[in-house]
């Protein structure tokens, strides 16, 4: 499996990214995720004109394709290779702070590849994190083994997995999670994201409030001159309060606004609403 992914990503990252930039606009607008991306961007940035919206949607799909390439690249390369590509770490001192070795919660957003980001984090410190099973059995086995390399522990999504995470934090371990997906019913909270109602993953702020452990937001970006850039940010202290999910969403929103095209807008973020009959993605 690793060899297959290596062959699929035989070109260096910079060369592959340049190729994606050359993809015809007509091909990108025909991509299955284009309409979802455009709908999400119209919600997040209502001030954009139709032409600006289409242009940003095209750029976003290009970045999503690059993110997929990054993921396959990370799955088939050594940890040292990922470290070499990560040329800059913003606010690394937040991640390396001594207090974080008494337990640490990291929440991330889907701008660029989560597995590329997680690969770098795993080279610095082991973690116990949730894992959602992938439908394809062979791929699932491979990815699970990949993420467990170096002594990391994966817990299944659900109540049992959450208990495992809490025990790990209480034993001064680190946990990482992507917090911008739509959780299963009962595992989230309605909040606001880019001014719109959104059923949001509430685990990260809930863990922070329950365990009183340090919490950081991390994100991955790419600069054609510098390469990949990891960033850490300490969220507003209100994330430990009852409105923690709102604070988390606001922190992610501020990060996304720095470079909207890098965020994975193809995901149906607003599909679960209090008005069950409303489907904003219906053509």
Per-residue confidence (pLDDT) for residue 157, from 0 to 100: 85
Running DSSP on this structure, what letter comes out for residue 127? B
Per-residue confidence (pLDDT) for residue 187, from 0 to 100: 82
This prediction has a pTM of 0.94
Per-residue confidence (pLDDT) for residue 283, from 0 to 100: 65
pLDDT beneath 70, residues of the chain: 283
Per-residue confidence (pLDDT) for residue 156, from 0 to 100: 87
d(CA 51, CA 122): 41
Per-residue confidence (pLDDT) for residue 212, from 0 to 100: 95
Tell me the CA distances in angstroms from 52 to 30, 57, 171, 198, 199, one per residue in order.
18, 8, 49, 24, 27
Per-residue confidence (pLDDT) for residue 136, from 0 to 100: 87
Q: What are the tokens at 252?
A: 């992610």
């Amino acid at each position: 499996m690793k060899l297959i992914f290596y062959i699929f990503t035989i070109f260096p990252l910079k060369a592959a990214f340049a190729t994606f930039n050359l993809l015809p606009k007509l091909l990108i607008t025909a991509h299955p995720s284009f309409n979802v991306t455009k709908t999400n961007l119209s919600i997040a940035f209502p001030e954009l004109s139709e032409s600006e919206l289409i242009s940003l949607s095209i750029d976003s799909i290009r970045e999503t394709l690059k993110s997929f390439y990054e993921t396959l690249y990370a799955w088939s390369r050594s940890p040292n290779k990922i470290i070499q590509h990560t040329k800059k770490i913003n606010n690394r001192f937040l991640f390396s702070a001594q207090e974080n070795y008494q337990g640490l919660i990291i929440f991330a957003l889907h701008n660029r590849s989560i597995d590329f980001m997680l690969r770098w984090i795993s080279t610095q410190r082991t973690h116990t994190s949730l894992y959602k099973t992938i439908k394809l059995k062979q791929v699932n086995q491979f990815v699970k083994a990949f993420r467990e390399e170096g002594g990391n522990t994966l817990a299944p999504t659900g109540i049992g997995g959450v208990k495992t995470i809490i025990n790990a934090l209480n034993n001064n371990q680190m946990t990482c999670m992507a917090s911008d997906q739509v959780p299963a019913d009962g595992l989230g909270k309605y909040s606001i994201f880019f001014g719109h109602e959104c059923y949001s993953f509430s685990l990260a702020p809930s863990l922070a409030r329950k365990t009183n452990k340090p919490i950081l937001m991390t994100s991955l970006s790419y600069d054609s001159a510098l390469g990949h850039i990891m960033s850490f940010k300490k969220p507003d202290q209100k994330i430990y309060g009852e409105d923690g999910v709102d604070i988390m969403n606001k922190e992610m929103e501020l990060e996304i606004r720095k470079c909207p095209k890098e965020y994975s807008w193809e995901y149906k973020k607003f599909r679960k609403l209090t008005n069950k009959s409303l489907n904003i993605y219906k053509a």
